[in-house]
Amino acid sequence: MARLGRLAIQVTALAVLASNLGGCSFLGINFGMAQMSEKECMMRAMYFESNRSSSEGMLAVGTVVMNRLNDPRYPKNVCGVVGQKNQFAQGVLTKPMTDSGAVLAAQVADQVLRGARHPGVQNAQHFHTAGMRFPYNNMYYVLEAGGNEFYEKRDPRTGRLL
């Protein structure tokens, strides 16, 4: 019984430690995202995913985040969407933003959170590095911006969004 008590204390201590490491996870549970504002999560997605290339590239990434936010298959807040496992750049919520691109990301994040959208993104909820190609027939490309290609997933037979 004492052994079980020590294990519970150790697990609790690890969970508390992990909760102080903003954006990290422990046993599959994300800690720290609640401490970040929606704006900071949006900034980080745009900063790291667009390679700080341009306001157009950042706006396109921000539009994808918002498109996902409006889809019941994804989390219901910006930080949840950005922090979703294997969806955005590794460390997007934890790596430092170190150059002037952070200033531009903050400006564009404000615009996106106030309703601005990149019209070329349309309903796209996905993107990958420009120049890459995959053998899937359900990827309908709508835009290239900020070093990324944005696409909608569509049924190849009907053309309807998936």
Name the residue with higher pLDDT: 52 or 59: 59
Structural domain boundaries in the chain: 1-35, 38-153
Q: Give the distance between the most distant pair of CA atoms in the chain.
A: 62
CATH of range 38-153; options 3.40.50.970, 3.40.50.1860, 1.10.10.2520, 3.30.70.2700: 1.10.10.2520
Whole-number pLDDT of residue 52: 77
Q: How many Å apart are CA 30 and CA 54, to the nearest integer?
A: 30
Whole-number pLDDT of residue 2: 55
Quick: pLDDT tens for 1-41: 555 455 444 444 433 333 333 444 333 344 444 489 999 99
Whole-number pLDDT of residue 32: 47
Q: Could you tell me the pTM of the whole model?
A: 0.78
Q: Write out the two tokens for 157.
A: 């037979």
- Residue 109 burial class via C-beta count within 10 angstroms: exposed 0-12, middle 13-18, buried 19 and up: buried
Neighbours of 81 (CB within 10 A): 24
Q: Write out the two tokens for 90.
A: 């590794």
